[in-house]
Amino acid sequence: MSELDAEALELFARKGLEAGDGAPQVGEANAVKVRRVMQLVTDLAPRPFEELRILDLGCGEGVYAIEAGLRGAEVLAIDARTERMELGDACAQRHGLVNVTFRQEDARAVSAATHGNFQVVLCLGLLYHLGEEEILPFLKRLRDLCEGLLLVDTVVSLGPDPGHRVREHENDDPPEVRRARLLRSIDTTFAFHLTRDALVRALHDAGFSSVLECHAPLEPGKAGDRVTLAALPGRRVAISTYPWVNDLSEDEIAAKLDR
């Protein structure tokens, strides 16, 4: 296990503290989230870390990118803002992590055509800042560029399907005010929080063949409205024992079984 300098450890110990008192899993408590993500990549990614190309979307100060880079992965970490990302970039440079690249970009513009393919895509603390009409096209682009594993950690709605709108900014807030709110969308006025079921359906509709929810490693203090999902971009199987199911959509299957 590689050791980080005191400046890096202090940086990551401050992660998310801008959210204020009572925010779950910020500061040192974020350790359990990083542990979970690294365990999932170890267990579910198609290759060992040193053979992985990883995309970290909305990376902030880059704790996941740095952790994966220390394990030998090639990591591209992007964020629309530079305030925290510059600190992560400096950390990577101090520790000689030439395999970790930080780049200022809008995650919504990423595609296979612009960025190539990745064995692992991390979408952690990002999806719940997108507007309702942005979510499915965004997930479809992630499916196109993801070759092995998409990890999503996000807030979900606990109300009725498909979810509810959440205000990120006031209607007349200027761009500079929106940009200054580091823990909110860069520009979206209303985000949309999908329910757990609607999010799983959206991932399936985007082309992911399996969607799994992670319960371990444990995350003490995780908010009740937050989930970690692993989506796998495989091919839909056909079965011989019940061939009727093979050519039907999920809605058609549900209708057939709802008798």
Does pLDDT of 218 surpass 80?
A: yes
**Residue 249: CA count within 13 A, CB half-sphere:** 7
Q: Across all residues in the chain, what is the average pLDDT?
A: 96
Does pLDDT of 259 surpass 70?
A: no
pLDDT score of 258? 87
Q: What is the pLDDT of residues 54-67, one digit of tens each?
A: 999 999 999 999 99
Does pLDDT of 46 surpass 80?
A: yes
Q: What is the pLDDT of residues 164-192, one digit of tens each?
A: 999 999 999 999 999 999 889 999 999 99
| C-alpha separations of 140 from 136, 194, 247 in Å | 6, 16, 22
User: Quick one: angle between helices 6-13 and 63-70, nearest 10?
Assistant: 140
User: Quick one: angle between helices 85-94 and 63-70, nearest 10?
Assistant: 20
pLDDT confidence band for 100 (50 / 70 / 90)? very high
pLDDT score of 54? 98
pLDDT score of 22? 82
| C-alpha separations of 81 from 114, 137, 179 in Å | 19, 22, 7
The C-alpha atoms of residue 228 and residue 156 are separated, in whole angstroms, by 10
Asked whether the whole model's pTM tops 0.85, one would answer: yes
Closest CA to 165 of 203, 128, 192, 202: 192
Domains in the chain and their CATH numbers? 6-257 (3.40.50.150)
Q: What is the pLDDT of residues 101-146, one digit of tens each?
A: 999 999 999 999 999 999 999 999 999 999 999 999 999 999 999 9
